[in-house]
């Protein structure tokens, strides 16, 4: 038992030293930083101040090879299965029906998206967000979504029932982003 405690203490010190945090103010912040560092990607809070607009493209399919980013960002919106989206230990089937698939639209304002049924918006609001600088497989996207969900629940936030999967081209390569709204 002592050896395990000693290893955890050493791991905690090494991880804390490796983090780009200026000041660890409280034990809770410290604990969240350690958990975030130990995952393969940071999980960040995002306050999206303006919606992002997209135009429907029925031909797009999630998780089927690399998405075509020639028209800009690609967004998929899924409804999550009711029995799974608030669970600390979610199981398959986790992702429910596909609600929307499309590409970034010119910014014409909120009114345009309400009038045109082919338009969709990633609404303004609060999200937990994670990204990887590569196009991830379905399994890796689900794993990332589960980690975000656990973080939401750990922070005692109320997760929304939708999952947004966004692909974009940044710094010369594809990027995968997962957004989960919360209250």
Q: d(Cα 108, Cα 44) in Å, to the nearest integer? A: 28
Q: Model-level pTM?
A: 0.74
Give me the sign of the Cα torsion angle 170, 45, 136, 107.
Answer: negative
- CA–CA distance from 17 to each of 30, 46, 164 (Å)? 11, 25, 33
Q: Compute φ and ψ for 84, nearest 5 degrees.
A: -115, -25
Delimit the domains of the chain by residue range.
2-38, 44-181
pLDDT by residue for the chain (183 residues), tens digit each? Answer: 444 333 333 433 434 444 333 333 333 343 444 444 445 789 999 999 999 999 999 999 998 888 889 889 999 999 998 888 888 888 888 889 999 999 999 765 544 545 677 889 999 999 999 999 999 999 999 999 999 999 999 999 999 999 999 999 999 899 999 999 999
CATH 3.20.80 correct for 44-181: yes
């Amino acid at each position: 038992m002592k050896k395990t405690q000693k290893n955890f203490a050493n791991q905690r010190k090494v991880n804390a030293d490796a983090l780009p945090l200026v000041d660890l103010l409280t034990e809770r912040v410290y604990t969240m930083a350690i958990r975030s560092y130990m995952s393969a990607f940071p999980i960040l809070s995002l306050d999206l101040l303006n919606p992002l607009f997209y135009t429907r493209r029925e031909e797009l399919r999630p998780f089927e090879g690399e998405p075509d980013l020639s028209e800009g960002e690609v967004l998929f919106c899924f409804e999550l299965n009711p029995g799974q989206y608030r669970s600390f230990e979610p199981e398959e089937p986790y992702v429910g029906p596909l609600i929307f698939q499309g590409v970034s639209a010119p910014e014409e304002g909120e009114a345009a998206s309400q009038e045109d049924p082919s338009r969709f918006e990633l609404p303004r609001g609060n999200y937990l967000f994670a990204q990887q600088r590569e196009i991830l497989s379905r399994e890796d996207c689900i794993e990332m979504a589960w980690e975000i969900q656990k973080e939401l629940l750990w922070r005692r936030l109320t997760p929304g029932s939708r999952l947004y999967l966004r692909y974009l081209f940044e710094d010369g390569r594809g990027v995968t982003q997962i957004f989960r709204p919360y209250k």
